[in-house]
Each structure stands twice: as C-alpha cells, then as structure tokens.
Amino acid sequence: MSTAVLNNTNTELSDLIDSKFREFKEGTIVKGTIIEIRPQVVLVDIGYKSEGTISAAEFEDEEIEVGDEVEVLLEKLENDEGMVVLSKEKAAHKQNWEKIVRVYEDGGLVRGKVKAVVKGGLTVNVGVEAFLPGSQVDIIPPKDLTEYVGNIYEFKIVKVNDDRKNIVLSRREVIEAERAELRQRFLQTVKVGDKVTGAVKNITDFGAFVDLQGMDGLLHVTDMSWGRINHPSEMLMIGQSLEVMILDVDREKERVSLGLKQMTDNPWEDIEAKYPIGTQVKGKVTKLLPYGAFVEIERGVEGLVHVSELSWVKRITRPSDVLELDQEIEAVVLGISIEEQKISLGVRQLEPNPWDEIEVRYPIGATIKGPVRNLTAYGAFVELEEGIDGMVHVSDMSWTRKINHPSEVLKKNDEVEAIVLSIDKANQRVSLGLKQLEDDPWSHIDERFKVGDLVKGTVAKIASFGAFVNLDGDIDGLIHISQLSEDHVEKVKDVIKVGDEIEARVIKVDKVERRIGLSIKAVSYSEEELKKESASFESLRPSSEMVGLEQAFNLAAAAAEEWSPSDED
C-alpha cells in the first residue's frame, strides 16, 4: 500500500475517532455498562477510549452485576491515571433536580422520606436533599420533630434556589389543601340533626373545637351536658373521639355548631314527675362550696343542698365540715325550677325537726338544768339538749343588780337552773331566766325600806352623777352627787370611793321604777328638812335625776367622766 493511501486512511480513521469522542462532554449524563466490580471501585464502559471508575460506595444499597447498564455523570474525561471519572449519585442528583424544578414549576407534589432533625426543621430526601421548616411540618407545629424521622410524606415545593441548589418544602400546605377539600365536601352534605364523629382538637374556657375530617366544629360548654360544668376539661381531653350532633351550619362563614348533650334525652323535661317535692333521693356529692353542696342524683341532674339544710340543730359553717367529694348521701327534694334547671335538696328533712314539739319538752314556766355553753356581751347560752340552746339575757340574771356582762354571774360550763320564759319556734329561740327562780324583792320593797330610814351599805360603783351603794339584801341604792355633802361637790370620787362603808338616809323609794334614793347629807336632817330634800330630789332634770336601777347603770356606762377604783389618786 502506497504511503499516500496509508496516510489518507489514517486521517479518515482519526477523524472518525475524534467525531465519536466529541460526543462525550464533561458534566453530561451518559449510559455505561459495568465491566468489573472491585472492592473500592466499579469499572464502567461508556464507549470511550478508556473505562470510567465509580466509587463502590455509590452502589452500597444496590445489588449489581457485571453487564448491568447504568446512567452516570461524566465528571472528567481523563484523570492523572488516564481513567474517565464517573458518578452514579451525581447523575441521579442532576436528573432528580431537573425533575424537582419541573414539579415546582407545575405546582405539583413530591414524595420524600424524612432523614433527620436539623436546626429549624427537618431534612427530607426527595431525590435530592431538601429542607422542611418546623412551622411547615403540620397545621399545629409539633413539639417533638423526631417522631417524623423515617416517615414518608407528600410535600409541596415552596422554594427552589437553582444557584445554591436549595429546596424548601411544606407538608402543612398539603394538609391544608386536603382539609379545604374535605371541608367543602362536608359543608355541602351535612345538615342540622346529623350525627358525626370527630376528635377534640382544642379546649378553651368556653368550649372545645372538634375536628370533623377537615372541618372544625365548636362544641360550646353549655351543649356538653345537661348538668352543670365549670370547665370543658372536666369532660373532655385533646385527642378524644366524640360522636356529636350538628346544631347549626353556616356555609357562608364555614362554621358548624355541635352538641353533645343532645345525643341523649333531656332529663329535665319530666323532672317534676320523676322527683316530686318531698321525694327522698340518693346521689353523689360533686362539688363543695361555702354556701352548699351539689349532689348528682342522675347523669346530667344535680341538686343543691344549702348549708342551712344540712342539720336542724348543728351549727354547720361549711358543708365540707360534714361532707366529702364523691360521698353517697340521701336527701329530700325541697323545690324544683325547670326554667333555671335547679333542684333544692335538704338533708335535715330526713329526720324529725326537734323544734316542732319544743314547747312539749320545755313548756313555758318549766325549770330546766344545763351547762353554760357560751357567753356573749348580752347573755349566756345554756344547752338544753344536743344542738338546742336557751339564752339567758343579762336583764334576766338578777332582780336587784345591773349585770353589765354575764361573766359577772356565770362561767362557761357552769351547771345552772333556769326558767323557760318564752319560745320562738320560727326563729328557733328559747328565752330563759335566772332571776325568775326567786321572788322579785322589789314587789315588797316598801316593807323593807321607807323614806327616812337610816341604812348602811358599801359603795359598789361610782359614776359622774353619783354613787351606787349595795344595801342589805343585794339591793342597790343611788346617792346622787347633790346628796353627798352640804358643800358643792365637783367630783364624786373626791368624797367617797368604791368599797367605802357609808351610812345614808332613804329619801326615795319607787317600787314601780325600782329605785331607792339615798342621801349622806340628810343623815342628820330633821323630819321637815328631810321632806324638803325629798321634794328637791324629785325635781331633778331627767338627764341627771335619780333613775331606775337599769337606766342608772346605762348612764354610768355612757358617762364621759365615769370613774373606777383604778382612777384613784
């Protein structure tokens, strides 16, 4: 073969080879065949002048054999060893990226597997790595993102950055779109009276929101139970499945009102027939308040036992003193209000009222015995029987002495006798008297004390207007300040003191007004002088005159200049 022919042939062959190899460009995806599998690399023939290598790690999740065809990315036509550098993963990434971009442009969805939790959200494999912000994971941002790792979901692509090769996903938008479709379908088909099943999504003070397959319905607290509920959390918990009734549908505003109590008959409709007044019922204590206890007598029906209806005789200040939550008790129906859905109950009505026949056990005029249970400023309470006391007023403790406080006569737990004076069944009061056990000494006082008599006694009390003297028989007489001395007296204590033994003359005896007037200065008066002094004593002004025993002590207590032994110089 001539040299010219040979050169021409070589040129044609070289041109043919060059044209073939010009089809291979770095960064393009080509098909190749696996020709050898080594521990570290896989050799792939792509039809180039030399084989290409791919890291064996790119096939770790696949079973491959010699002769398998693969698509690879041509990274470099020739490395330092003269080998073609290929990548199966980068080929897949390039193909998937292009697919992702097309889906994003078309507004479609992609499926992907959640790989891991990262700052601010999750990483997701959708053929390429993408980011799912925590706020886009669900309608309600989850508290624990790790529960999503490993799960496969559909996502909407919300952002693609081609330069940085970043993709942002949203699962929330997918869920919201699905719920919107379900909501429209629900609103088109549902009607008032339908019974539907849903899950409690949220609980508030006024009710609960129930998820009805994409539609949130409001279950108001007043529609949860025929009985009394303070807060929805008493009946419901988040995630709880409920069957409820549709009460109202507003398709324009996309609102649905639900009812739970309407799933059962209204127990209040025939409540009066079921529980006539006077009926004895059983129930469980559901709530204790300062003013009473609520008792459930059947599901959805509660009655109130007011604290005043717990006992006829015991002084109960708080229901919790005698009752406990969940305690089973018996009671009597006292009243019913259907409009307000209220039932009044009583516990004390289970027993006879001891006040009904109180006058039989303690007739007026009868003498009783009992311990002093309590002392107050105005009297002493004496126990007649358990839960029933009689009261001895200070004015009924002595005929002759003005008692300012019952402790002057009685002590707590003293055993005393008294006379029943009156009974007030309506207000549950029994009045007793101590002084009535004895004759009234004032009824024959004029036989013991006469005007002109000289008497001796002890100064018991000093007031601004005079001094009280205890006379024989535990009877007090009053020496008015004007009767202390012939001389003008500014202050009673300047002349006499409590405890002084004095001699005085009786210048006034008033059986009706219960008062005895005494005079020290009249001790040496003649009969004529005594008459004048008595007349002068009678003419004293009401504000400073000789007064009845009780009234005089009242004046003494109110006087601005009242003096006691502790005031002595």
Classified as helix, coil or strand, 122 is: strand
* pLDDT, averaged across the chain: 81
Whole-number pLDDT of residue 157: 87
Residue 418 CB neighbours (<10 A): 26
Contacts of 191 (CB under 8 A, 6+ apart): 246, 249
Pair type for strands 379-385 and 367-376: antiparallel
What Cα–Cα distance (Å) separates residue 275 from each residue in 270, 303, 307, 342, 477? 9, 11, 21, 12, 68
| Residues whose CB falls within 8 Å of the CB of residue 406, separated by 6 or more in sequence, listed in order | 375, 376, 379, 380, 392, 394, 397
Please state, for a pLDDT cut of 90, what percent of the chain lies above it.
Answer: 19
Q: Which of the two residues, 164 and 298, has the higher pLDDT score?
A: 298
Lowest mean pLDDT among 50-64, 277-291, 493-507, 549-563: 549-563
CATH architecture type of domain 107-175: Beta Barrel (2.40)
What b/e readout covers 156-169, taking b as 16+ CB neighbours within 10 angstroms? bbeebeeeeeebbb
SS3 readout for 369-416: EEEEEEEECCEEEEEEECCEEEEEEHHHCCCCCCCCCHHHCCCCCCEE
Positions of E strands within 464-512: 466-471, 475-480, 501-510
Chain centroid, CA 147 distance in Å: 36
Give the separation between CA 216 and CA 191, rounded to whole angstroms.
15
User: Quick one: pLDDT band at residue 6, thresholds 50, 70, 90?
Assistant: very low
pLDDT number for residue 539: 60
Q: Which residue has the tokens 């790119």?
A: 58
C-beta separation of 97 from 128 below 8 A: yes
Domains 354-433 and 445-536 share a fold: yes
- Closest by alpha carbon to 256, among 196, 215, 208, 204? 215
17 — pLDDT class (breaks 50, 70, 90): very low
Return the exposure string of 519-545: e unless at least 16 CB atoms fall within 10 Å of the residue's CB, then b: bbbbeebeeeebeebbeebeeeeeeeb
Sorted by sequence, the CB contacts under 8 Å of residue 90 that are 6+ apart come out as 73, 75
Spatial separation of the C-alpha atoms in residues 487 and 421, rounded to whole Å: 48
Which structure tokens are listed for 544? 């400073």
Residue 324, phi then psi, degrees to nearest 5: -130, 155
d(CA 207, CA 220): 4
- What's the pLDDT score for residue 561? 35
Instruction: Give which of 341, 413, 420 is closest to 375, Cα–Cα.
Output: 413
Distance CA 477, CA 518 (A): 6
pLDDT given at position 100: 78
> What is the β-pairing status of strands 84-87 and 69-76?
antiparallel
Length in residues, the chain: 569
CATH class of the domain defined by 445-536: mainly beta
pLDDT tens-place string over residues 510-556: 887 788 889 998 888 887 877 777 776 666 543 334 444 444 444 54
Closest CA to 183 of 154, 216, 155: 216
Q: Which fold has domain 190-263?
A: OB fold (Dihydrolipoamide Acetyltransferase, E2P) (2.40.50)
Which of 150-154, 175-179, 229-233 holds the top average pLDDT?
150-154
More confident residue, 106 or 381: 381
| Separation CA 279–CA 343 (nearest Å) | 12
Q: Residue 206: pLDDT above 80?
A: yes
- Is 209:238 a contact under the CB 8 Å cutoff? no
Q: Is the dihedral of CA 387, 390, 394, 397 positive or negative?
A: negative
Given pLDDT bands bounded at 50, 70 and 90, which one contains residue 565?
very low
What pLDDT, on the 0 to 100 scale, is given for residue 145?
86
Confidence of residue 281 (pLDDT cuts 50, 70, 90): very high
Lowest-pLDDT range, 47-51, 121-125, 364-368, 552-556?
552-556
pLDDT of 183 strictly over 90: no
Q: Structural domain boundaries of the chain?
A: 22-106, 107-175, 190-263, 271-346, 354-433, 445-536
* pLDDT of the residue at 541: 45
Indicate the CATH number for domain 271-346: 2.40.50.140
pLDDT at 538: 63
Confidence of residue 272 (pLDDT cuts 50, 70, 90): confident
The one-character DSSP state at 83 is: P
SS3 labels along 194-220: CEEEEEEEEECCCEEEEEECCEEEEEE
Q: For residue 182, is pLDDT > 90?
A: no
Task: Check residue 364 and give its pLDDT.
Answer: 92
**Is pLDDT of 557 > 70?**
no
CATH hierarchy code of domain 354-433: 2.40.50.140
Distance in angstroms (rounded) separating the CA atoms of residues 97 and 101 = 6
Residue 117: how many CA atoms within 13 Å on its side-chain side?
9
Quick one: pLDDT at residue 27? 65
% residues pLDDT > 70 (the chain): 88
293 pLDDT higher than 50:
yes
Question: Quick one: pLDDT at residue 542?
Answer: 39
What pLDDT shows up at residue 434?
A: 92
- For residues 113-137, average pLDDT: 87
Architecture category of domain 22-106 in CATH: Beta Barrel (2.40)
